Structure 1
Amino acid sequence: MFSDKDIARFRAETDGVQKVIHFNNAGASLPSNIVRDTVIDFLKEEATIGGYEIQMKRADELDSTYDSVARLINAQSKEIAIVENATAAWNAAFQAIDWQEGDEIICNRPDYASNYLAYLHHPKKPIIKVIPNNENGDEDLEAFEKLFSAKTKLVSITHMPTNSGHLAPAEQIGEICKSKGVLYLLDACQTVGQYPIDVEKIQCDMLSATGRKYLRAPRGTGFLYVRESVLPKLTPYTVDLHSATWTGEQTYEIREDARKFENWEGNRANQLGLKVAADYAYEAGLENIWQRVQVLATQLRDGLRKMEHIHLQDQGIELGGIISFTVDGMAAPDVMFWLLDRGINLSWNGVPNTYLDMTAKGLKEIVRACVHYYNTEEEVSLFLKAIEELGS
């Protein structure tokens, strides 16, 4: 667990906390100063000596990004592809599967819109099966096992959705997928940097993540993990001269590591920012981060629970740093702007973000407050005081 001295250091290394109370960490966290400065310094040097030239000059440093990301999730560097965001990572994996007519996907109810839209949009029109929830809001694992058939091609799970702090039982789902011999893709967009991800414990075959959220990396960064044993089974939907080599007039060879899902061009300054952010989170300790997030989230939920005009909307036994709620007589966007005027950042979600989960809960929209380890108990108290004013 972090000490008060640790929190003070994290805040001293994050200039943004002096300006705002930032509870929009599930949208984009405040980066640490070292991440900010790394990106700016790289861009300055790029503008001075040239983009390709700095890439050659700092090639080893850039290449070590793969090691840093791999270390963060207990993977190998050759299993990591650096891409521009989580959706790009997720689609790179999804589109690389050899889909056939009649193939089935099993997903969970809080699945993210971009993922579900990809199922619907795919030309092979895979059959979609949704894991039902127990009364407590968690995935019903007994019902999940019964959804498998000979045509099940993929289990696609959103680890933590965009509209609540619900944490899917990723490890138990991984055990079931392994016993069934079915590919397992985990969308860890909201959990990498918040929750201690270990791909060996989860047993996922693929994992997609972003940099800008709980990892505190620059916007425009993300990564894809693909298990080494699965890499030969996946064919990238698109290739270029980085992911493949043109060997003859009618021949080419696709590279064997996860970088076959990348393309040649990319933001190298942001890539280096991603590396620094991954190192920062690893050194802070993901177990420590997760404990701190849960302490602050519990304080915030407990405070909201006491207010008659507030209705918490999170469901599940284990909850993370995304706190979703509604306010009597006030639209979610209006709540966001009201708080923004008072120096408090948060966001809101509507039905299209997580259609299945929102409609199952009978919700049209939710307010989303998302704490991180650099936030403080005092900030939570100020937030609760502001929310209380809405009911007066």
Structure 2
Amino acid sequence: MANLDVAALRADTPACERVVHFNNAGSSLPPAPVLDAMIDYLRLEAEIGGYEAADARAEAIQAFYTEAAALLGARPEEIAFANNSTHAYATALSAIDFAPGDVVLTTRDDYISNQIAFLSLHRRRGVRVVHAPDAPGGGVDVDAMAALMRAHRPRLVAVTHVPTSSGLIAPVAEIGRHCRELDLLYLVDACQSIGQLPLDVTAIGADLLTATGRKFLRGPRGTGLLFVSERVLKAGYEPLFIDMRGARWTEAGGYEPVASAARFEDWEFPYAGLLGLTAAIRYARRVGVPEGSRRALGLAASLRERLREIDGFRVLDRGPELGALVTFTVAGAAPEPLRARLTGAGINCSVTRREHARFDFTDKGVEWCLRLSPHYFNTDGEADRVVDVLNG
């Protein structure tokens, strides 16, 4: 924490002067370089034309792949741009030729959109969805999940690194080791963890990894990425609806996918967003993800402890490792007045409801939670203000 110049980071984030932003798990405040990159490119498009601007900024556009690969410990050829994490996830799923009876093995904490996608696969293709049980202290029971891998030989193992409904951090690397031992396809949703936690796709053992730009990475909305391992590319996986960026129309009756992860991209790009995402990744790497992570996790841990001291408040986060996402509820209360109290004091937060976390909230016996998600640019004084408002 001492290595971070928090004052400089806040100076790069002018909105800090107006709001206390504890909604980084929803959509963070982009730093000035992100805004500058996008505005500069939009001006160029207006001045010379969209196609011409893309040609003029070709080198900067290509830098996205280099920067994203460096952030994830990957190769540029293994990176694809996506409009958002869910788009990347659906595109990855579409590349798998599921057959009736195939098993998707996942956790009870996977993201709502992923869970719905699995149910859609069950409805349309007869895929079986198996959920690994939780450990007594919270989070997936890895040994039980490994036993299910051996018993079912799933077509896909899918895990959300950090769920949207709690501060849990899933042991994705430990799960990945079991997947490698059994040669199972492994998909990791890093939507909430990219920018919050250091990520290394080799250490995780991921075949596929999806992420967004707007959360802890501090990029623009409408941006994301997909990591596709060399192993998956060489095995010939390609999205169901591959387009002319991802494939070459080699003859009237045939096509060939490109060799890189670009086969998972569409031809049309929001180039201003891509350059904003590139700037966000470059900024995160300059700040240092490990350093920023330690500060954000420290702020969250302190906030959790202080919320536990408020009468009637129940902190919901469980698990052996917790991140920069604090969830709590208040017995007999509704979330709207509580959120309005914070919003009225200039504090940004968000609410998650039971329909977004059917397993988790059923187990906890709650209908809603309020989410507070600090980042490295937040301060202890801002955390004090949040607690004071909630305790008022």
- TM-score normalized by structure 1? 0.97
Q: For structure 1, which segment, 260-269 or 121-130, has the greater mean C-alpha deviation from structure 2 after superposition?
A: 121-130
Answer yes or no: is the 8 Å Cα contact 2:24–2:215 preserved in 1.
Answer: yes
Residue aligning to 1:231: 233
Paired residues of 1:2 and 1:288 also in contact (CA < 8 A): no
Q: What is the match of residue 69 of structure 2?
A: 70
Instruction: Name whichever of 150-159 and 265-274 sits farther off.
Output: 150-159
Alignment of 1:156-167 (within 5 A): 156-167=158-169
2:304 aligns to what?
301
Partner of 1:131: 132
Whichever residue aligns with residue 223 of structure 2, its letter is T
Matching residue within 337, 352, 361 for 1:334: 337
Q: What's the TM-score once normalised by structure 2's chain length? A: 0.97
Residues 2/96 of structure 1: CA separation in 2 closer, same or farther (3 Å cut):
farther
Q: Does 1:22 align with 2:25?
A: no
Q: Is the 8 A contact 1:2 1:292 kept in 2?
A: no
SS of corresponding position for 1:93 = helix
Instruction: Report the Cα distance in structure 2 between the residues aligned to 1:113 and 1:299, rounded to whole angstroms.
Output: 28
CA contact (8 A) 1:109 1:130 kept: yes
Contact 1:303 1:384 in 2 (8 A): yes
Shift of 1:235: 2.1
1:387 equivalent to 2:386? Answer no
* Letter of the 1:55 counterpart: A
Q: Give 5+ residue unaligned stretches, structure 1.
A: none
The one of 363, 367, 370 aligned to 1:367:
370
Question: CA contact under 8 A between 1:351 and 1:358: conserved in structure 2?
Answer: yes
Q: How many angstroms apart in 2 are the aligned matches of 1:388 and 1:353?
A: 27
Identify the residue that residue 378 of structure 1 maps to in structure 2: 381
1:275 aligns with 2:275: no
How many residues align? The count is: 388
Aligned-partner SS, 2:230: coil
Q: Which moved more, 1:92-101 or 1:78-87?
A: 92-101
Match of 1:243 in 2: 246
**Structure 1 position 188, deviation (Å):** 0.4
2:218 corresponds in structure 1 to 216
Asked if 1 retains the 8 angstrom alpha-carbon contact of 2:162 and 2:168, the reply is yes
Cα offset, 1:350, TM superposition:
0.7
CA distance in 2 between counterparts of 1:61 and 1:161 reads 33
SS at 1:230 equivalent: helix
Inter-partner Cα distance in structure 1 for 2:246 and 2:355 = 34
Deviates more, 1:227-236 or 1:303-312: 227-236
Give me the whole-angstrom Cα distance separating, in 1, the residues matched to 2:111 and 2:269: 25
Tell whether the 8 Å contact from 2:153 to 2:184 is kept in structure 1 after alignment.
no
Amino acid at match of 2:125: K
Q: Distance in 1 between matches of 2:2 and 2:229?
A: 32
Residue type of the alignment partner of 1:217:
G
**Which runs of no fewer than 5 residues in structure 2 stay unpaired?**
none
**1:1-392 alignment, distance < 5 Å:** 1-3=1-3, 6-122=5-121, 123-148=124-149, 149-233=151-235, 234-389=237-392
Aligned AA (2:232): V
1:219 maps to a residue whose letter is R
**Residue by residue, what CA displacement relative to the aligned partner does 1:213-258 show, whole Å, maximum 9, x if unpaired?**
0000000000000111111331211121111111111111111211
After TM superposition, which residue ranges in structure 1, 4 or more long, deviate above 4 angstroms?
none
Change (3 A) 1:130 1:150: closer
Say whether the 8 Å CA contact 2:327–2:370 is kept in structure 1: yes
CA contact (8 A) 1:139 1:168 kept: yes
Deviations 1:154-184 (Å, cap 9, x if unpaired)?
Answer: 1100100001110000110011111111111
- RMSD over aligned CA atoms reads 1.1
* Cα pair 2:146 2:175 within 8 Å, conserved: no
CA–CA separation in structure 2 for the residues paired with 1:355 and 1:345? 25
